[in-house]
Amino acid sequence: MDLSNMGPEHYNVRNKQIKLRRTECINALNVLEEINNGTAHNILPCKLSLSQFKGNLDFSNLCMMGHSFGGATSLLTMSSDPRFKVGIILDGWMFAIKNEALKISQPLLFLNTQTFHIKSNLAALKKIIDDGENRSVYTVL
């Protein structure tokens, strides 16, 4: 689907898309926990036993990280799932979550390039930066 010229529906399409991405991130973490607990089964046609990973995955400092749309996905996911302990947001493109009421208590690191200093994007980022502790923001010129 070409999303470059969607007009007034662009936000709705992107918001729906980012919520799907959030679900995918949470589902991926759920599968990793199943693997770690020894309750996951390999459905691929190979002989790899997932039991060798039982108890070997460390979930104590999970980092959610993404660039652009992925950065916004990281923020939305972290606001929904506290199992992610820290976030790194690279040039977060906030359009798809600009109307979401995000509550993020985890520490966040924002790394931006000056090309992402669009007024509307900065306003959306500022709400998240100002709404919590342990927020670091850097801009690379």
Residue 1 counted as domain residue: no
Residue 79 counted as domain residue: yes
For the entire predicted model, the pTM comes to: 0.90
Q: What is the pLDDT of residue 2?
A: 53
Phi then psi for residue 8, to 5 deg, are -65, -20
Range of the domain at 68: 8-139
Query: What is the average pLDDT across 94-117?
Result: 93
Residue 109 counted as domain residue: yes
Query: What is the average pLDDT across 105-115?
Result: 93
Q: What is the pLDDT of residue 141?
A: 86
Q: What is the pLDDT of residues 71-85, one digit of tens each?
A: 999 999 999 999 999
Query: Which CATH number is 90's domain given?
Result: 3.40.50.1820
Question: Judging by DSSP bridges, how do beta strands 135-140 and 108-113 pair with one another?
Answer: parallel
Look at the chain and report how many structural domains it folds into.
Answer: 1
